[in-house]
């Protein structure tokens, strides 16, 4: 997971249960004789404690199953769900390209400031946390749902601050739905056969058949004039 990861178990809204930085436990590093190691562990613990204060217990936000799972795995603070995007806008919680399951099942991970800054500049992927009605229509017609791990085109999108606690801030990225370019969850659904494409001779186009058997004619996603 990289340097400076602190894990929480929030499955039942608990406080820290498993902690590690650089392969050693937080408890051990907090007692280290090396001042730099000790200060680093203290900084990571402060940031993680602040994040935990901004996260509700499992089920409290009444989110879709996958999105709830990802919220706990990746430490998405409650502020990401305070607003509902409208029109074709979507909100994305950016994650590290190395954080496939941050902390494992029901874990929460926090990176050092250095790692977080690097990720913001270089990691074009994140979790889809909310979408406007037009965006939802376009997404559903292509087999993408809230909670999906998606990649996006732009490297420098608009960042919306959603939470602030104890001097730390958390953001979501604000996009138009056409800024997304892929979903690893959708790919997995294709590979498992849960979702598939079919040729519809009646309209002369391919359609998507989702896991419920519903057929979707894919909708084109809006893209801004800067493309």
Q: Are 178 and 96 in contact (CB under 8 A)?
A: no
Q: Look at residue 140 and tell me if it is in a domain.
A: yes
Q: What pLDDT does 77 receive?
A: 96
Instruction: Kindly report the CATH number assigned to the domain that includes residue 206.
Output: 2.30.33.40
Q: Look at residue 191 and tell me if it is in a domain.
A: yes
Q: What is the mean pLDDT of the chain?
A: 81
CA distance to 13, 63, 159, 214, 223, per residue, from 74 (Å): 14, 15, 18, 31, 28
Number of domains forming the structure of the chain: 1
Q: Look at residue 56 and tell me if it is in a domain.
A: no
What is the distance between the alpha carbons of residues 207 and 28, in angstroms, rounded to a whole number?
Answer: 56
Q: What pLDDT does 213 receive?
A: 94
Q: What pLDDT does 105 receive?
A: 36
What's the average pLDDT block by block, 10 residues per block, for the chain (227 residues)? Answer: 39 39 67 86 86 95 97 94 96 76 41 55 86 96 97 81 94 94 97 96 95 93 62
What pTM value is reported for the model?
0.78
Phi/psi of residue 36, nearest 5 degrees: -65, -40
Which residues have C-beta within 8 Å of that of residue 87, sequence separation ≥ 6? 132, 133, 134, 135
Q: Look at residue 221 and tell me if it is in a domain.
A: no
Q: Which residues pair with 145 in a beta bridge?
A: none
Q: Look at residue 170 and tell me if it is in a domain.
A: yes
Q: Look at residue 9 and tell me if it is in a domain.
A: no
* Domain, as residue range, for 69: 61-216
Q: Look at residue 225 and tell me if it is in a domain.
A: no
Q: What pLDDT does 52 receive?
A: 92
Q: Look at residue 136 and tell me if it is in a domain.
A: yes
Q: What pLDDT does 155 receive?
A: 66
What are the structure tokens assigned to 202, written together? 């009646």
Write the pLDDT tens digit of every residue in 132-170: 999 999 999 999 999 999 999 876 678 999 999 999 999
């Amino acid at each position: 997971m990289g340097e400076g990861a602190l894990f929480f178990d929030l499955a039942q809204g608990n406080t820290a249960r498993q902690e590690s930085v650089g392969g050693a436990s937080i408890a051990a590093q907090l007692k280290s004789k090396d001042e730099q190691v000790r200060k680093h562990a203290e900084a990571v613990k402060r940031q993680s404690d602040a994040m935990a204060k901004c996260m509700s217990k499992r089920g409290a936000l009444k989110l879709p199953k996958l999105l709830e799972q990802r919220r706990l795995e990746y430490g998405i603070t409650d502020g990401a769900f305070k607003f509902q995007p409208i029109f074709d806008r979507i909100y994305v919680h950016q994650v590290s390209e190395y954080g496939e399951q941050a902390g494992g099942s029901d874990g929460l991970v926090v990176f050092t400031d250095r790692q977080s800054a690097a990720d913001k500049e270089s990691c074009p992927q994140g979790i889809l946390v909310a979408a406007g009605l037009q965006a939802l229509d376009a997404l559903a017609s292509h087999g993408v749902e809230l909670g999906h791990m998606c990649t996006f085109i732009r490297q420098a999108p608009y960042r919306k601050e959603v939470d602030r606690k104890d001097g730390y801030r958390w953001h979501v990225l604000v996009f138009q739905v056409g800024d997304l370019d892929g979903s690893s969850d959708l790919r997995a659904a294709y590979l498992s056969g849960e979702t598939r494409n079919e040729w519809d001779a009646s309209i002369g186009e391919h359609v998507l058949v989702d896991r419920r058997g519903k057929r979707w004619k894919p909708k084109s996603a809006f893209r801004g004039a800067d493309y």
